[in-house]
Amino acid sequence: MSRDHLAPPIAPAHSFFSHRWLSAATLVVAGVLQTLTFSPFHFWWLGPVSMLLILLVTIPLRANRLFLAGLLTGLGLFGSGASWVYISISEFGNTPIPVAVLLTAAFVAVLALFPALAFWFWGKLAKVSAVRRLILFPAIWILGDWLRGWLLTGFPWLYLGTAHTDGPLAGLAPVVGVHGLTFLIAASGAAIFAAGWLISKQRHASAGIVAVAVLTPWLAAPALNRVDWTHISTEPTSVAAMQGNIPQQIKWDPEFLKDQIVAYLGMTEPYWDTDLILWPETAIPIPQDQAGKIIDHIEENLGKNSTLITGIPWYGFSERAGGFTYHNSIMAIGNGEGMYHKQKLVPFGEYVPLEGVLRGLIGFFDLPMSSFTRGPENQSPLTANGTKVMPFICYEVAYPDFLARNAVNSDLLLTISNDGWFGDSVGPLQHLQIARMRALETGRYMIRGTNNGVTAIIDNKGQITARIPQFERAVLTGEVFKASGSTPYMMTASWPVLTLALTLIVFVRERVIPKN
């Protein structure tokens, strides 16, 4: 016999949420609230609030309406938090405004399909049981996030846990990673909903148990901030990072290539003896096979124990690509060695899907240097005066498991970027916060070098120790420290939380409320 009667039935929604248009607006607002948890707003406490609003609307809905509910939530989240792609499409992609608006809307809509599909699956699993829906909600949300960060190269952006670089759950990041933090935030929203329902039924003791369960990780996490999961050396490495602030409009103009190199060399002149000098992504805007004189000049001026690491395109024969190809790369010069080729390429920015069909249709499909080839897996760190430096180029820093896996054999993390593509939007500031979360998860210092901001030094707790404001030509100087050992998250990546999510799905479906 079915035991569905043990679960509270889905009660009619509050009159406010029972109105179709108000419910739709609430879901969109809930998505927007999640954007406000991230930089530059930092209202991390809105995360559980957003989850609670979503549940207030969706718990009473029939399963066949949950797809639309997820879509509306996604439109609110990505429409507010990722629509900065419009700037690169319109301003730097030479795309007419109506077409740029259409492409941006399509981008947001495609991303919104991920929560829509997750909610649809949620409805299929939970049917009409409120208990099932509440228990499964954090698991479904996490699996939706994970799928979005993996499918078709992925878009691992706007994970709710990232907001806790400065929030109370930060101490748990080296243990459970960003997906684990997101799971806790979603579970907190579900627990608040459950506690409210229990109180309304005069079941105060049960509500108290739920409240204690949800508060425990929030209260315990700050104490973990004092735990050092990795060993930090006491010997500093001096750093000088150049932020050239080269306008994006002239970045790839052949008439200005010499001026860019001269600018970076001039900025570096007082710092040739610094231990580690960093130039940003494609600071040398010509392939390494044409940059021999520039590289020789750098080597001649560097101090005996100094290493300069710079972004530079690479051109040559690749067995993996089956011919000559371009890579978006980083190379070490001076008292160091190594070349790293970017593995996680940005669609349309660094390669064009369906190139034979799309190339040439509009300006956005013909961006400069949009024919890169993905680099091989398991590349070795660069070395700088004996320090193992694991580099990541731009978008790569957004992939939590990818970075944790590659950081294992490193002393120091480094990321370079050119966020000039996104102008004065929230995109570059979100990008900086993501880099901070990666440093926190791995217990390692990170140097972040960008063309126009934000260039920064991030410590092993994810805190910024030095930075340059956006849109300024300046040099960032400071110190970093090598790290050894691994955090728990580096050893397991996101598999524990993903396994928990899958286990909940199986357990709830087969055990809590079994079939007839």
Q: What is the pLDDT of residues 168-216, one digit of tens each?
A: 999 999 999 999 999 999 999 999 999 999 999 899 999 999 999 989 9
The rounded mean pLDDT for the chain is 90
- Angstrom distance (rounded) from CA 362 to CA 143: 35
pLDDT for position 355: 52
The predicted model gives 306-319 an average pLDDT of: 91
130-148 and 173-200 are packed helices; what angle lies between their axes, rounded to 10 degrees? 150
Catalytic residue among 251, 350, 394, 482: 394
66-81 and 97-126 are packed helices; what angle lies between their axes, rounded to 10 degrees? 140
- For 358, half-sphere exposure in the C-beta direction (CA atoms, 13 angstrom radius) is 14
- Give the model's confidence band at 348: pLDDT under 50 very low, under 70 low, under 90 confident, else very high: low
Name the 3-class secondary structure at 11. coil
- Judge contact between 134 and 59, C-beta under 8 A: yes
**Side by side, which strands form the sheet with 387-393?**
336-337, 382-384, 387-393, 412-417, 446-450, 456-458, 464-467
- Angstrom distance (rounded) from CA 154 to CA 426: 20
Name the 3-class secondary structure at 447. strand
List, for residues 244-281, the tens digit of each pLDDT value.
999 887 887 888 889 999 999 999 999 999 999 999 99
Q: Which residue in this structure is represented by tokens 């096979």?
A: 289
| Lookup: tokens for 106 | 């399509």
- Judge contact between 331 and 341, C-beta under 8 A: no
The predicted model gives 22-49 an average pLDDT of: 97
Q: Is the peptide bond before 29 cis (omega within 30 degrees of 0)?
A: no
- For 1, half-sphere exposure in the C-beta direction (CA atoms, 13 angstrom radius) is 3
**Beta-bridge mates of residue 391:** 414
Residue 281 appears among annotated catalytic residues: yes
DSSP state of 208: H
List, for residues 410-458, the tens digit of each pLDDT value.
999 999 999 888 889 999 999 999 999 999 999 999 999 999 989 999 9
Distances (CA, A) of 360 to 81, 85, 275, 353, 364: 29, 20, 45, 13, 9
Residue 342 appears among annotated catalytic residues: yes
The predicted model gives 368-377 an average pLDDT of: 77
**Beta-bridge mates of residue 238:** 479
List, for residues 498-510, the tens digit of each pLDDT value.
999 999 999 886 6
pLDDT for position 373: 86
Catalytic residue among 342, 344, 461, 482: 342
- Angstrom distance (rounded) from CA 173 to CA 27: 28
**Among the ranges 121-135, 241-255, 301-315, which has the highest mean pLDDT value?**
301-315
> Among 76-85, 94-103, 394-403, 465-474, which is the least confidently predicted range?
94-103
Name the helix (H) or strand (E) containing 239. strand 231-243
CA 272-274-277 angle, 5° bins: 80
In terms of Cβ atoms closer than 10 Å to its own Cβ (0-12, 13-18, 19+), residue 472 is exposed
The predicted model gives 143-164 an average pLDDT of: 94
Query: What single letter denotes the amino acid at residue 407?
Result: A
Nearest residue to 331 (alpha-carbon basis) of 406, 277, 368, 275: 277
CB atoms within 10 A of CB 109: 15
The predicted model gives 159-163 an average pLDDT of: 98
Nearest residue to 275 (alpha-carbon basis) of 302, 238, 318: 238
Catalytic residue among 251, 281, 461, 482: 281
pLDDT for position 262: 95
- Judge contact between 466 and 395, C-beta under 8 A: no
